[in-house]
Structure 1
């Protein structure tokens, strides 16, 4: 210990290590869960899933926590099983863009991300709707580009049916290409250009209805995990909504997608990877773990567990005990129950693997469904949750997380009040917004010069 001239201990001054690499910043977004296998809609503290006050509360909580954006999923058809509405869809599904246009009026900085389908929409109309949201919100719009794999949704539309995976991505890529051309076609101080496009999916000649919006293009989010989906993200997405949240799986996915960017002339920082994650907080880690186990039992009801297996088995399993063993029968070939679902390609292999796994670990149908539908989850005290999130980002397993609370609309409050301040103390999360647009929050550049040539020009 050193002393000063009076003999008193000299105060130690710790200067920052200027040779150390800067700590990676954590990005956070909030998912309004609606009613799905994440929400505990039977909880007494659960509010309305469609009343605007619920969207307003969650959005304002996220903005108070300085989150990047609010994320809304979308379903174009209520889920059904054997002609009956699934118990998770009994409250309905509002339109994402309609909700976010209203949320724009009660927030100031929070990004607004809508999931909208590229399989059953048209580029001109959707480009106009997102440009409108970007103008009305001052540059906070984002589009989560998704495709649809199930035939049931297709019955709601003129084309009917569904597209194979490769065709869905070909349509989505051409869709985004045309939308980008429309967003580019009315620069400041110039008359709008006519976008002429003739391709396999779309044939149009159109002028945009609005000039450049504050971001020019909304932030593009992509959620596919297949090889086609990863390539689609590397080619042009700004954010990947990933399901790979564990440290090991997250690092592998992060590395794979980021390395694909170079072939399209992009840098690693041009694309953010944000896995979905749930969280449960407690005063002790043990308390949080106990609460998390109870929540998972509430999230996966007996009916939900049976419906989950029916997607693979393709047969009515209502006669099976959800707390009993998995069916010892094989899936039904070409079952109408699973027409168009993602599992349909390898249902026999999936059933065999699940049956072997359940036998090895002595899992019931419900316990297997709980395990298979689990997301990355941060469970523990606020301190341990903050440390775990920071560790994932510093290890490049993610650039941040899209948090999915289990209660609507108050499920995010505790995280904002108890975890966000700890991330700020660690120096890995903003104390305030530095810019006004969603691209500012995410550190993403505004798209560059107008494209005068190309397939859509």
Structure 2
């Protein structure tokens, strides 16, 4: 008996304010004009993707006390953009990052339920939590939450608690609000009293078509993995190799049982780049040029200063790495997520630089960036299928390097090969995001 190949899930990420987009390419267009969002979303729907994904930016990033002028492109509010895209797409899921630290669960639940109704069941929420006092300065509450659960203050305002516990309570509260309307359309009073929120009253929006909009969690820490296992439908992961993907996949899936969940109830979808060429060699050459464009000398120095935590403007990006150690608590670069211990990162970069004789810029190019599939369309299709078949991922969130046309070649050249392999749909069989993902509608908890 022949077993059908495991199906692969695909999503399209519209690049936010970052150095992913190659702005020097004449094909790069606005990140603000609605036509750009519409182009990428329509392309994703033409390719039968599961969903379209928008990130959230709550403050412009700064470098040495000044707004970072290499990536100031603007960042519209994502749920508003998705509501507009609901009118120009029919089946494509519509997901956005919305910060649980700086938004209240009642309003989040209301906005997401509205999007789910407007789109006939295609809404998704990427839940993130922030411990960033820099971003918190943009909010009237004026505080932030740190990872250790200790209160931090901005001015006289104080808020305490771990950001992930607040996010988990925010999700649970939103789900309770969505379930406060019966399936036949009867509202009921709702009351929640927890460590972070007290919500009491009546919800204004009937239960969403999906029951609950799809919940996505982005994070690789042990706490993030546990949160995803307990509460998420998708985990937006980041790992660089096939083996690392298998290790991550096995770890996260093994956590589900303690919450009474089956492995298929959580989809693991790492964010990846891709570069296509007529041959593997041509694609590799293109990929090298794209990385040089993404990591300009200025961006290389920004990445270096983010790790070292000090002004390194006297260094040559084509010269060697600093001999001094990083200053872990410095705030030279504001608004960028720091990943890993700076001392450990610096040690890895130095080892890589010594081993391969790399300059600062060359080291940053090689040491940073997401996993990318590089090769001919047939090579890329085969590698993606292998990741899914060998349980390194359930699918991928594609991050193109061109806005908004960067997905066109993938849809035209790789999707047909995935379909030929029998690992990707040839037509939408359902109308909701949950149906695309193979996720059941949550049972109403009256």
TM-score when normalising by structure 2: 0.94
Query: In the aligned structure 2, how far is the partner of 1:190 from the partner of 1:100?
Result: 25
1:120 paired residue number: 102
In the alignment, is residue 72 of structure 1 matched against residue 54 of structure 2? yes
Q: Tell me if the contact between 1:151 and 1:339 (Cα under 8 Å) persists in the aligned partners.
A: no
Measured against aligned partners, the alpha-carbon deviations of 1:354-376 in whole angstroms (never above 9, x if no partner) come to 22332222222112221222211
* CA deviations over 1:317-376 (Å, ceiling 9, x no partner): 122111111111222353232679754873233323322332222222112221222211
The answer to whether the aligner puts 1:437 opposite 2:432 as a matched pair is yes
Q: Does 1:336 align with 2:331?
A: yes
Which deviations, in whole Å up to 9, do the C-alpha atoms of 1:124-161 show, x marking residues without a partner?
00100000000000000000001123221111112334
* Cα deviation digits, residues 295-326 of structure 1 (max 9, x gap): 00001111111111212211111221111111
State whether structure 2 residue 198 is matched by structure 1 residue 203.
yes
Q: Is the 8 A contact 1:35 1:41 kept in 2?
A: no
1:231 aligns with 2:226: yes
What SS class does the counterpart of residue 125 from structure 2 fall into?
strand
Q: Tell me the secondary structure at the aligned position of residue 195 of structure 1.
A: strand
Q: Contact 1:79/1:86 (CA < 8 Å) preserved in 2?
A: yes
Query: How many angstroms apart in 1 are the aligned matches of 2:335 and 2:203?
Result: 35
CA distance in 2, matches of 1:77, 1:400: 30
- Paired residues, number: 433
Match of residue 293 from structure 2: 298
Contact 1:310 1:337 in 2 (8 A): yes
**Structure 1 match to 2:252:** 257
CA contact (8 A) 1:277 1:402 kept: yes
* Residue 144 (str. 1) matches residue 139 (str. 2): no
1:350: which partner in 2?
Answer: 345
Partner SS for 2:108: helix
Q: In the TM superposition, what is the alpha-carbon distance from 1:49 to its structure 2 partner?
A: 0.9
Alignment gaps of 5+ in structure 1: 1-18, 453-457
Task: Report the Cα distance in structure 2 between the residues aligned to 1:315 and 1:38, rounded to whole angstroms.
Answer: 24
State the match for 1:59 in structure 2.
Answer: 41
Distance 1:338 1:357 in 2: 23
In structure 2, how many angstroms separate the alpha carbons of the residues matched to 1:149 and 1:341? Answer: 12
- More displaced stretch, 403-412 vs 372-381: 372-381
Which residue of 175, 178, 184 maps to 2:173? 178
Out of 215, 240, 250, the residue aligned to residue 220 of structure 1 is 215
Q: 2: distance between equivalents of 1:71 and 1:340?
A: 21
Corresponding residue for 1:3? Answer: none
- Deviation track 1:217-255 (CA, whole Å, cap 9, x = no partner) reads 110000111000000000010001010252101110010
Structure 1: distance between partners of 2:328 and 2:37: 42
Change (3 A) 1:354 1:255: same
CA drift at 1:88: 3.8
**C-alpha deviation, 1:178, in angstroms:** 0.6
2:334, 2:408 → 1: CA distance? Answer: 40
SS of aligned partner of 2:423 = coil
In the aligned structure 2, how far is the partner of 1:235 from the partner of 1:295? 38
Q: 2:18 maps to which residue?
A: 36
Partner of 1:285: 280
Match of 1:89 in 2: 71
Larger Cα Rg: Structure 1 or Structure 2? 1
How far apart are the structure 1 equivalents of 2:240 and 2:334? 29
Indicate the residue corresponding to 2:311 in structure 1: 316
Structure 2 residue runs of 5 or longer lacking an equivalent are 149-161
Name the residue aligned to 1:159. Answer: 141
Counterparts of 2:2 and 2:398 in 1: how far apart (Å)?
30
- Secondary structure of the corresponding residue to residue 392 of structure 2: coil
Instruction: Provide the secondary structure at the position in 2 that maps to 1:189.
Output: coil
What SS is found at the alignment partner of 2:329? coil
2:442 alignment counterpart: 447
Paired with 1:325 and 1:310, the residues of 2 have a C-alpha distance of: 14
Going from structure 1 to structure 2, the CA distance change for 1:78 and 1:214 (only over 3 Å counts) comes to same
C-alpha contact (below 8 Å) 2:59/2:335 kept by paired residues: no
Q: Is the 8 A contact 2:29 2:403 kept in 1?
A: yes
Displacement, 1:204?
1.8
- 1:247 equivalent to 2:229? Answer no
Question: Residues 245 and 277 of structure 1 are in contact (CA less than 8 Å); yes or no, is this contact kept in structure 2?
Answer: no
8 Å CA contact retained: 2:61, 2:334: no
Question: Alpha carbon RMSD of aligned pairs, Å?
Answer: 1.6
The Cα of 1:163 is off from its aligned counterpart by 1.7
Go from structure 1 to structure 2 and tell me whether the alpha carbon gap of 1:344 and 1:237 turns closer, same or farther (over 3 Å shift): closer
Please state how far the C-alpha of 1:190 moved relative to its aligned partner.
Answer: 5.0
